[in-house]
Structure 1
């Protein structure tokens, strides 16, 4: 009975969706590449979003994917966010890269998730319980992806609000300084009109 439970648990782990979430910073003119080793019919999905930029740059990034032979199978230029999915047709390392080479002064803060499903046999021979586990795992992954997306959006909106607040504060300070300077100049100018000058 214990052996059967262990083998079932191992099978369940094989069916569960593999997922990893990352947050990286890419320097101006830089590029970051990662890879996943897949077997035929394995599935992989990469979702990403630019969550911040230093130096006033745009919230965008270049993204491309290459297959084991080195051929580029997907490219996306200057997008703030994106999703790419593939079903592997050959075994090997599938490489995906995020490039900030088009920017010469702004560093990009990027959040991305990688998740996939390992192929195990024919779906017709999967037990109902195992199929339910697959469905639950897929649903859980969708919830996690949505939560990660909301976290990134909240960070972007918070950074925008803080930047706007800072600009409004400094503009108000500058206006106050200008106002007091004009008042002081007006008082001085008007006083000069009413000064009694001695005639020697």
Structure 2
């Protein structure tokens, strides 16, 4: 279970073993919009299956062997929603996946708190030329922009982690095959030296035998 609230923002990085799946449950108490973003940052071909189940076990969204995606669903039913990262198609490679879940609804607890805050508007208008609603809109806009900035920073971090893992894997492969080719070249060179020495040895023995026959 991730959380029990209506409006949440959570992100985590999970490891899904080969031949298994990792599922999360989110309890929804009233209608809301759910946005899920996932990205495979390490393991195998950087792909995974993903699906979302409603409380009545209906598949709301499903992805097959994708590296990353943003999935949006409308949660109109109250209950526990199921989100699964499925790596059962992979027999050997475990996957490292970044997972972010966000829920939003029209009714926000923060807005309720703002409604409870009722200063003396007449005195405030005398001090500034703005209304209290303008301040609320500005604060709400700043909050949304900050949340987007945090999400973008998390995405950039995940892109960097994925690229770094790809580079490290390529580096290991290059080193491995370089060693293999080096060993093969040394074996080929050694084989050639042995064959050449063997040919010269045969010619020398034949020359000695010919000289003995003549004498």
Fold shared per TM-score above 0.5 = yes
- Give runs of aligned pairs for residues 182-197 of structure 1, distance below 5 A: 182-195=188-201, 196-197=204-205
Contact 1:39 1:88 survives alignment (8 Å): no
Give how far 1:73 is off: 1.7
Alpha-carbon distance change, 182 to 18 in structure 1, aligned in 2, over 3 angstroms: same
> Under a length normalisation based on structure 2, what TM-score does the superposition of the two structures give?
0.70
Number of residue pairs matched? 181
TM-aligned CA distance change 1:182 to 1:24, over 3 Å? same
Counterpart in 1 of 2:16?
26
Moved more, 125-134 or 37-46: 125-134
- The residue number in structure 2 matching 1:120 is 108
- The answer to whether 1:152 aligns with 2:158 is yes
2:25 maps to which of 29, 32, 35? 35
Contact kept in structure 2, 1:67 and 1:93, CA below 8 Å: yes
Q: Quick one: distance in 1 between partners of 2:71 and 2:61?
A: 8
Change over 3 Å in CA distance of 1:97–1:183 after alignment to 2: closer
1:83-123 deviations in Å (ceiling 9; x for gaps): 122343243222222212233332221111112235238x8
> What TM-score, normalized by structure 1, do the two folds share?
0.75
Structure 2, unmatched stretches of 5+, are 116-132
2:42 maps to what in 1? Answer: 52
Alignment gaps of 5+ in structure 1: 1-13
Partners of 2:135 and 2:79 in 1: CA distance: 31
Contact 2:47 2:66 in 1 (8 A): yes
Mark the CA change 1:138 to 1:179 in structure 2 (over 3 Å): closer, same or farther.
same
User: How big is each residue's C-alpha offset from its partner over 1:54-91, in whole Å with a ceiling of 9 and x where there is no partner?
Assistant: xxx33222222222333222222222111122343243
CA distance in 2: counterparts of 1:102 and 1:172, whole angstroms: 31
Aligned-partner Cα distance in 2 for 1:88–1:128: 31
Q: 1:162 to 1:68 in 2, by over 3 A?
A: same
In 2, the alpha carbon distance for the partners of 1:87 and 1:133 equals 27
Give the match for residue 86 of structure 1: 73
SS in 2 for 1:94: strand
